Amino acid sequence: MTHAQNHLYPLTSPQREIWFDQMLHPSLPLYNVGGYIQIDGTVGPKLFEQAFNLLVQRHDALRTVLVPTSDIPMQTFLEDCPVTVPFHDFSGENDPHQAALGWMQEQFVQPFDLYEKPLCHFALLKIDENCFYAFNKHHHLIIDGWSIHLLNLSVTQIYTQLIRAQTIERVAPSYLAFVQNDRAYIESSLYEVHRQYWIKKYQTLPEPLFAPRYFGQNWVDQIQPSECQVLWLPRPFYNRLLAFAKKTQSTPFHVMLGALYVYFTRTTQRQELAIGLPVLNRSNAAFKETVGLFIGVSATWFQFGTQLSFRQLLKAIGKTLKSDYRHQRLPISELNRALGIQKKGQKQLFDIQLNYGKHDHDTECGVFKAKSLTLTNEHEQTPLSISVWEFHENENVQVDFVYNLAYLDAADIERIQSRFVLILF
């Protein structure tokens, strides 16, 4: 593949962070992201492939390819990038859903060839005459969770418009606008203001929350795999949390953070909790409609002791987050370098992450209902990553506890989940 006719652009700050980390372990799917859309009806494979090709034409991030250089790679956006959407029929299997899920998970953990090739993969799976799965896998270099939401809405909309012979909008906001915006930020005085804010906050480093108790000698490249244990919060129970959050002038996210703070400060006998919080990093309306990698991580450090009431704790959390979010854009890798944490024997400033995803993931594909579901790459390196998925209104809320096997096992997670629910209750 030649790129002589294409412009080359630098990686953005979020892309550079992921590229550097991926290069440490190029054969592992550390940054495979995506899942599948469940469509409750009949789907035409040829028309669906056409919809995905129009999707790729609409969003230039899906046409991203990395171009190797002697140093950090550059990126270009192909003018034409036709995709195939293989069709797989699982309807004849004894358990079509499990067979399809197994196939998707096997495909999902296959690493991407990072250079000179597209960084996305699609497929259509038939479960029965009235159920199809649209599989999607991307490298995190070109996509984040918000973008996956945009893409799922976009492809079902395109398919519906094809069925109805309606006009299809072929252009969406370009990721290039963020490439330029990111470079301007790195060269601005605001970058140094943000940098000094975080350096001052971390004049001393928080103690690690977990120790690698289960570290083995046979892991590939000394990278430990991860597993996922799902906690389901019944909708009536979750609705009570929503009502409590409203009553205390907080948010469900603050309530989850408060419960984690209470649990870990009590069980580890400490007065503080460091936690990584993914941030959208989309500063304007156009960026919120743009597919691409924007997301960052805010290294939040709550230091409130253990004497506050829960309501007081929620107010303190809100105040800290308000300050941190004003400085959230600094890349976490830059903070890590400035603090020299690797030289001090730490991989990261925090051992736990909390991600809160609240999108309306219910949509329509033609005349049929559709909803989006996530898959895991089985290589989460943060010891514990918790994701709250409030995707489908009036359904139970899914909370994924993804844990690295060097630090935690299934029994540990069961204990954490049961006490987490007890605190929320």
Domain boundaries of the chain, sorted by first residue: 9-163, 189-365+376-424
User: With bands split at pLDDT 50, 70 and 90, how would you rate the model's confidence at 371?
Assistant: confident
Q: What is the mean pLDDT of residues 67-80?
A: 94
The larger pLDDT score, comparing residue 219 to residue 57, is at: 57
pLDDT of residue 169: 86
Q: Dihedrals φ, ψ of 277, to 5°? A: -120, 110
CA distance 173 to 166: 21
Is 389 in contact with 397 (CB distance < 8 Å)? yes
Please state the rounded mean pLDDT for residues 272-277: 96
The verdict on pTM exceeding 0.85 is yes
Fold that domain 189-365+376-424 belongs to in CATH: Chloramphenicol Acetyltransferase (3.30.559)
Tokens 């809100």 locate to 318
More confident residue, 359 or 104: 104
Residue 355 has pLDDT above 90, yes or no: yes
pLDDT reading at 253 higher than 90: yes
Please give the CATH number for the structural domain made up of 9-163.
Answer: 3.30.559.10
The more confidently predicted of residues 230 and 373 is 230
**Which of 18-32, 89-103, 157-171, 360-374 has the least mean pLDDT?**
360-374
pLDDT at position 223 is 78
Give the pLDDT of residue 220. 41
pLDDT at 219: 44
Residue 82, C-beta contacts closer than 8 angstroms, at least 6 positions apart: 53, 56
pLDDT score, position 363: 64
pLDDT of residue 221: 45
Q: Alpha-carbon distance 132 to 126, whole Å?
A: 5
From CA 218, how far away is CA 138, in angstroms rounded?
28
Q: How confident is the model at residue 344 (pLDDT cuts 50, 70, 90)?
A: confident
Assign residue 250 a region (left: φ > 0; alpha: ψ between -120 and 50; beta: otherwise).
beta
Confidence of residue 224 (pLDDT cuts 50, 70, 90): confident
Q: What is the residue-averaged pLDDT of the chain?
A: 91
Residue 400 has phi, psi (to 5 degrees) of: -90, 125
Nearest to residue 30, comparing CAs of 18, 12, 15? 18
Residue 275: partners with Cβ closer than 8 Å, 6 or more residues away: 257, 260, 300, 301, 302, 350, 352, 353, 354
User: Rounded distance, CA 7 to CA 64, Å?
Assistant: 11
Output phi, psi for 368, to 5 deg: -105, 150
> What mean pLDDT is predicted for residues 260-283?
94
User: What confidence tens digit (pLDDT) does each residue in 183-208 have?
Assistant: 999 999 999 999 999 999 999 999 99
Cα distance between residue 141 and residue 292, in whole Å: 8
| Of the listed ranges 98-112, 139-153, 244-258, 360-374, the one predicted with least confidence | 360-374
Segment 388-403 mean pLDDT: 87
